[in-house]
Amino acid sequence: MSLQIPRSIDDVWTIATTSVICVWGARVAGLLLPQGTISFLTHAYYGFEADYHDFPFGIQLDAIHAVTHMMWGAAGLYIGFFRTSWAVPYMVLFGVYYVTLSFFGTFTEYHFGLSLGERENTAHWTLGSLGLVTGLYGLWLQRREATP
């Protein structure tokens, strides 16, 4: 990220929010890593055929779903802490993925090998919408900065 010298108070806000909102969004998405990891380890302990509906609230994910959360969470932490310039595209992709997943899950319960019940869909609609709005806002701010 290059040094940007603000010319007005609007420039200060734009420079600060461009990176901060999307970077923190990626960092918060990193919370999916421990959730997916705990759920996956629970599957490993009880067996992958175990009924995940018997697991404690918050880790009631099937194994593939847990791995998906682990991957998005690991990517979010990496981008949020080490590759902050990738935060805006990450948030857009995160939002598109989860909104698409929740869209399919609204009509049927199983897609892409994932069990998408009502709780999962509610969480995916929320996470996807927030991620997409955050990413698109970051894109808008970047475009606004680029135009003289």
Q: Which residues have C-beta within 8 Å of that of residue 56, sequence separation ≥ 6?
A: none
Question: What predicted TM-score, i.e. pTM, was given to this entire model?
Answer: 0.76
Mean pLDDT on 54-78:
79
Q: What is the pLDDT of residue 7?
A: 58
Looking up tokens 């990738």, which residue turns up? 86
**pLDDT tens digits along 23-50:** 888 888 998 999 888 888 887 776 666 6
Q: Which residues have C-beta within 8 Å of that of residue 112, sequence separation ≥ 6?
A: 64, 101, 104
Q: Are 128 and 72 in contact (CB under 8 A)?
A: no
Q: What is the DSSP letter of 85?
A: G
pLDDT > 90 fraction of the chain, expressed in percent and rounded:
11
Instruction: Note the residue count of the chain.
Output: 148
Q: Which helix (H) or strand (E) holds 115?
A: strand 114-115
Mean of all residue pLDDT scores within the chain: 77
Q: What is the pLDDT of residue 55?
A: 59
The structural domains of the chain, with segments of one domain joined by +, span 14-146
